[in-house]
Amino acid sequence: MRIVQKNVNLAIVLALTASVLLGCSGQKKEVKPSASESSIATPAKTPAAPLVTGLPDFTPLVDKIAPAVVNISTAEKVQSQSRAGMDPICQMWPDFPMCAQRNAQPQGEGREQPRGVGSGFIVSADGYILTNHHVVDGASSIVVSLNDKREFKAKVIGSDERSDVAVLKIEGENLPFLNTANSDDIKVGQWVMAAGSPFGLKNTVTAGIVSAIKRDTGEYESFIQTDAAVNPGNSGGPLVNMSGEVVGINSQILSNSGSFAGIALAIPINEALKVADQIRATGKVNRGRIGVAIGNVDEEIAKALGLPKASGAMIKTVESGSSAANAGLRAGDVVLKVDSHEVENSADFARVIGNSTPGTAFKFEVWRQGQAVSLNVTVGSDAAAKVSENSMDKGNSNGSDRAHSRVDRLGLTVEPLSSNELKQAQLEAGVRIAKVEGLAAGVGLREGDVIVQVNNASAENPSEFSRIIGTSTGRVLLLVQREGVMQYVVLNP
């Protein structure tokens, strides 16, 4: 029994040992790579899923627009200097025989030297290119380089400094070109991409959003503002939407350093095309003109005039015989609308008229003496004479009409104008300031200024002027003419 039991125990131990050995042999033996087989990064067999989604992929957009974006290199002719003029010894002793002999030699006819680089884009298959005026202004020769490394000599068809738009032409067929969008439809926050040659680095693209529209910087055009990086050399290149259509021409940056600081400005393509069409047709731009000088309406003037908001363009002068004069427009009128377009300020009004062609008929809505008046105005040509500022005859006239009226509340002493003086000033009524002090002097009124209206009523004579001032309470609104220019002045006694 003991022997049997011992054998049984031995059998159990042997069975357990065998099972352990069999289990170990079934496992896969781990083999460590040798030093020569190690790798820092192992390429994935399949692309990994993106960790960030919802952002735009600009690669198809770049493929679409890149062939039509061009680099523009310009050169200018400079007069070659004589060797004597470049020699420091000859600069000190120009009469030295060697220097005199060199100076006697004829100078060269001039040589070309590189002037700068910019950008542009092709807008037609036969080779018309849009760029900025400042890119090609003063250039004696222009070379256009395409993305496929082809180069062309370019001809300037026309260039307009006021809008900063230029049209070039290269000789070619079936060239790649960009389509344009309606820039009036662009919205703040839309993705856009700028393309060009910043710092001469060809075929560069940057992306951002539209930061603002109708950005007024005091220039003739209002701009599209974007945060897409634009630097020197980008000028003239396209700003495109996500469909690859041009919405603007990159033109300016606002920066203290001269490089991109987060604000770039582009000319809306709608405005650029109006200029380009005239250049292609006639080689120049002939803008509309009606013969007025204009100014803005501030909040205080708007309240005094009874306008709901500070907008519109105030007419300061009307040129005799001009389109404005023929239509009945008067100095002191505030233009609120041109057709259905609401006039925001004087620059907006100037753009509407300037972008029109001579002969265009408009319906103006103007604010005159407290009420809206409609006028039909036909635009003239800017080739006409400039607005002439009418100076008044400040000499003395004889007669009893020299009676003065003192208005103590405003600090004004006024005197009447003779019929000849009114005619010379192109006025129907008005009184002249003979003396100014106190409140009136504080707002900038001067002796010799002519007060045409008081609180939207005509200042017929000193007595009427005194009556209106005496019956008014609070704010006083004066329409004043100085050297032919009208301006509203508000006094708060």
Task: Say what the alpha-carbon torsion angle 267, 269, 270, 274 is, to the nearest 10 degrees.
Answer: 80
Catalytic residues: 134, 164, 235
Rounded to whole angstroms, the Cα distance separating 13 from 27 reads: 22
Give me the numbers of helices (H) and strands (E) for the chain, helices first please.
13, 28
Nearest Cα to 238, choosing from 263, 267, 213?
267
Q: Calculate the alpha carbon distances from 134 to 74, 115, 280, 463 in Å.
A: 11, 12, 18, 57
Residues 6+ apart with CB under 8 A from 147: 66, 67, 69, 70, 202, 203
Rounded to whole angstroms, the Cα distance separating 419 from 458 reads: 15
Rounded to whole angstroms, the Cα distance separating 387 from 136 reads: 31
Residues 6+ apart with CB under 8 A from 80: 107, 108, 109, 110, 111
Residues 6+ apart with CB under 8 A from 250: 119, 194, 196, 230, 234, 235, 236, 237, 238, 239, 264, 265, 266
**In the structure encoding, which two tokens stand for residue 130, read together?**
């849009």
Any alpha helices (H) in 132-216, and if so which ranges?
133-136
Distance of CA 151 to the CA centre of its chain: 30
Distance of CA 480 to the CA centre of its chain: 32
- Of the chain, the end-to-end C-alpha distance in Å amounts to 134
